[in-house]
Amino acid sequence: MENPPLLPQVPVIRLPRPPSPSGRGFDPSSPRALAHHAADSHQKIRSTLRERFLRSLLASSGLPVTFTMYQRVTVNAEKFNACDMEAYNFQVSNLQTPLGVQDEALIRGPDIISYSFCI
Amino acid sequence: MTDWLNKTPVEWQSFVNKDVKVSADEKNEYQGWVITIDPVSASIVLANFEAQKTQIRVVMGHAVQKVEVFNEADDIIRERLSHIFSSYETSLQTSEDLETKKQNLKSWLEQNNIPVTLQGKLMRTLCVAGVLSIDPPYGPDDCSSSNEIILSRIQRLLQDYLTRQ
């Protein structure tokens, strides 16, 4: 009887050692940590940009908003309530849709092209 | 422009305070002053100044195809853009008012055994225990910290302080 063909050999990948349970994460001076670490100025710019964006969300809360969505759909909502961290879901009240008014609605971020409001 | 989502914060920063035309999906075009670009979703926040109010438009990062820069803001517009979302009182208050407000708040916090230091170029930011900063005009909404427990406690303290005054 013939031997069955050998299975292809799989190399063993060795993962880097994780931080020890009592440690405080990866060594900040290790090459790995340095490669991950963006310059301080980057982080500062990122935080100012993000702060301004969060303030814009804060300013829009409770105001009427108009959403421009894909397929040339434009809908109005009487009140902008909240949006999640990644701007992935928007929660609004009294959304005027072609099918009637929705008291509370959750709009998916990827369906939106833009939205506007006045302050 | 799928590239738009992968730009670095420094590249996004270069669009801030510029008059731009954004071409988005389905032939939508928007023009306005860039207030900021969210580094998480790459969404652009545009402002258009009208007679009495300001129209704000947020173009979602995934829908952005092209951004063209037309103009750079002068100092007046720059100032207006940076204070667009802060409370209206800020612009009305003089620096003297803010200085006394800051000193009062600082001494009040110190009376309550909360360590406070001054920070920043103009020494206008109050820093609480090295983990929370309070910017002018020193209201509960002007606190920022990465520690939400400390943040909510200090915000509540500030609220009490303001109602007691």
Q: Please give the domain boundaries of chain A with CATH numbers for all domains.
A: 61-119 (2.30.30.100)
Residue B128, classed as helix, strand or coil, is strand
CB B155 within 8 A of CB B143: yes
Backbone angles phi, psi at B102, to 5 degrees: -65, -45
Query: Which of B9, B38, B85 faces A42 most closely, judged by CB atoms?
Result: B9
Backbone angles phi, psi at B90, to 5 degrees: -55, -45
Rounded CA gap, A103 and B119, in Å?
46
Tell me how far CA of residue B154 lies from CA of B83, B85, B114, B143, in angstroms: 24, 22, 10, 8
> Hey, where are the domains in chain B?
2-85, 89-164
Residue B90: CB atoms within 10 Å: 14
ipTM above 0.90, yes or no: no
- Residue B1 reports pLDDT greater than 60: no
- Average pLDDT estimate for B1-28: 88
User: In a mutagenesis test of the B interface, which of A114, A115, A117, A118 is the best target, namely the one with the most B β-carbons within 10 Å?
Assistant: A114
H/E stretch holding B11 reads: helix B9-13
Query: Which of A45, A50, A119 faces B54 most closely, judged by CB atoms?
Result: A119
User: In a mutagenesis test of the A interface, which of B40, B62, B145 is the best target, namely the one with the most A β-carbons within 10 Å?
Assistant: B40
pLDDT tens-digit profile of A2-39? Answer: 677 777 777 777 776 666 666 666 677 777 677 666 66
- Average pLDDT estimate for B15-36: 93
Q: B 56-115 residues with CB below 8 A of A?
A: 56-60, 62-63, 84-86
Considering only alpha carbons, which residue of chain B is nearest residue A53? B38
- Indicate if the alpha-carbon torsion angle A97, A57, B11, B75 is positive or negative: positive
Minimal Cα–Cα distance from B106 to chain A, Å? Answer: 24
Check residue B31 and give its pLDDT: 94
DSSP A20-73: PTTS-SS-TTSHHHHHH---HHHHHHHHHHHHHHHHHHHHHTTS-EEEEETTTE
Query: If pLDDT is split at 50, 70 and 90, which confidence band does B24 have?
Result: very high
Residues of A with Cβ-Cβ distance to B40 under 8 angstroms:
50, 53, 85-87
Check residue B130 and give its pLDDT: 87
Considering only alpha carbons, which residue of chain A is nearest residue B61? A113
- Residue B2 reports pLDDT greater than 80: no
Give the architecture (CATH level 2) of B2-85: Roll (2.30)
- Residue A92 reports pLDDT greater than 70: yes
Greater confidence (A15 vs B146) lies with B146
pLDDT tens-digit profile of B120-145? Answer: 777 888 898 889 988 878 888 888 88
Residue A55 neighbours by CB under 8 Å, 6+ apart: B85, B86
Greater confidence (B71 vs A112) lies with A112
Q: Whole-number mean pLDDT of chain B?
A: 86
Query: For chain B, how long is the longest CA-to-CA vector?
Result: 60
Considering only alpha carbons, which residue of chain A is nearest residue B15? A49
